[in-house]
Structure 1
């Protein structure tokens, strides 16, 4: 579009071009989210690491990431206090990978019940967030994490509630793994405007408590929340962690649209 069409006279009461350039997101006057940093207090995790089918993993992990073992982590996170975003819950799948020899985790899919968290995660960063209905709660002596997509159950995770203390250094290490994400932004003609692999990392989380216990995980087939495409063959371990942390700004580590 010709930029001359946006040249307005001073004092005509309209929003000026330089003012538009200062806006973070739309709609103007009621942005979908505020600017960070995004600090989380008493963020609670239920993590279940499980073994899956290697061929299924190869179909969803993009190059140049490498898969070392056929493992997936199912996680449910309850964020009761996230200034600017509110209180919300996430659930998703994380895949252990490596990039140029550095071990980390690839965020495969995230389902979230909070619009500001979805919008800022996709627009500013590269978190693969969709709308879902996850929950994390205590049922008698069991920590339960569930994910519904629409009206249908997609995942049910159960873990004994605080059976055994977990080493806090191991809990901190689990949360501080480098994280890789795929950011894709299309042009209006359907071509790719942005196609990048990004890296971020949580630094120095404050661990308030961490536990381990027996755990089980069920995944149910769904066309638009296909978590069961990475089937549960064996549960390896589980953790329950409560922490304070701040999300770090991601960096671009690979540009798929550049010539290599």
Structure 2
């Protein structure tokens, strides 16, 4: 079998990932079908949120939103689970959304795609959503330690995604993308954003939730302490991950 030689044009085009003959990172768009999501909301200290936001982002509120996903049928990646911790943030005059200080997931492909493309601070973890009688339970483990435990009554009050979006503009995810050259010089320093597309909601429920955080040096969710528990949501939906945009380029700003 003749070996293929990769040409310069192949390498410099968009959507290329290594290894070249079995790419790790999938190209856009990526469809996620019938994902089950447990969303937990609570209030924290405003200064705790401000301390985690990179300049020039500004906080929108004192609310923390944690999504635990059971990704049942995504293109390319196969089934996996994910947890995304979000706080409201805006780049004044340009965009508003939800900034992610931490993400954890069970997929090596999802981890690589999130870090290489979006700049999401993804780490390996073990999120779970379980139905235990009349209770929906969400957990996140890192290093074999339970970092997060959240609960929600099982399907008691019907809701809509508009109710969730009114708490935090979560559909637009903002991240800090930081990549260095091999010699240590900064190669990419950007604020990036992506917005979910083609969202098809199957069901959505809400109710009072509980959130318990356990300190962990490698998963420091405790830096956003729980001050008041709010409503949680359980919802199922299909959506598409499409290309995002660069909101701010620190290197261009400093040149």
So what's the TM-score if we normalise by structure 2? Answer: 0.90
Q: 2:177 aligned to 152, 176, 183, which one?
A: 183
1:243 and 2:237 correspond: yes
1:87 and 2:87 correspond: no
Corresponding residue of 1:133? 126
CA contact (8 A) 1:181 1:198 kept: yes
Describe the shift of the 1:221–1:172 C-alpha distance in structure 2 as closer, same or farther (beyond 3 A): closer
Q: 1:118 aligned to 111, 118, 121, which one?
A: 111
Q: 2:45 aligned to 20, 29, 53, which one?
A: 53
Note the 1:153-164 alignment, pairs <5 A: 153-164=146-157
CA contact (8 A) 2:118 2:193 kept: no
Corresponding residue pairs, total: 249
Following the alignment from structure 1 to structure 2, what is the Cα–Cα distance between the partners of residues 76 and 191?
35
Q: Could you report, residue by residue, the CA deviation over 1:182-206 in whole angstroms, capped at 9, with x for unpaired residues?
A: 1111112323210000121123411
CA contact (8 A) 1:175 1:202 kept: no
Following the alignment from structure 2 to structure 1, what is the Cα–Cα distance between the partners of residues 97 and 72?
26
Unaligned runs of 5+ in 1: 1-11
Deviation at 1:126, TM superposition (A): 2.2
Q: Which has the higher strand share?
A: 2
Unaligned runs of 5+ in 2: none
RMSD after superposition: 2.1
Secondary structure of the structure 2 residue equivalent to 1:195: strand
Q: Could you report, residue by residue, the CA deviation over 1:107-158 in whole angstroms, capped at 9, with x for unpaired residues?
A: 2211010011111111122222111111111111111111100211111111
Following the alignment from structure 2 to structure 1, what is the Cα–Cα distance between the partners of residues 146 and 173?
27
1:217 and 2:207 correspond: no
Deviation at 1:211, TM superposition (A): 0.2
Corresponding residue of 2:137? 144
Deviation at 1:13, TM superposition (A): 5.4
CA contact (8 A) 1:73 1:93 kept: yes
Describe the shift of the 1:13–1:41 C-alpha distance in structure 2 as closer, same or farther (beyond 3 A): closer
Secondary structure of the structure 1 residue equivalent to 2:251: coil
Deviation at 1:171, TM superposition (A): 5.0
Describe the shift of the 1:142–1:20 C-alpha distance in structure 2 as closer, same or farther (beyond 3 A): same
Corresponding residue of 1:17? 7
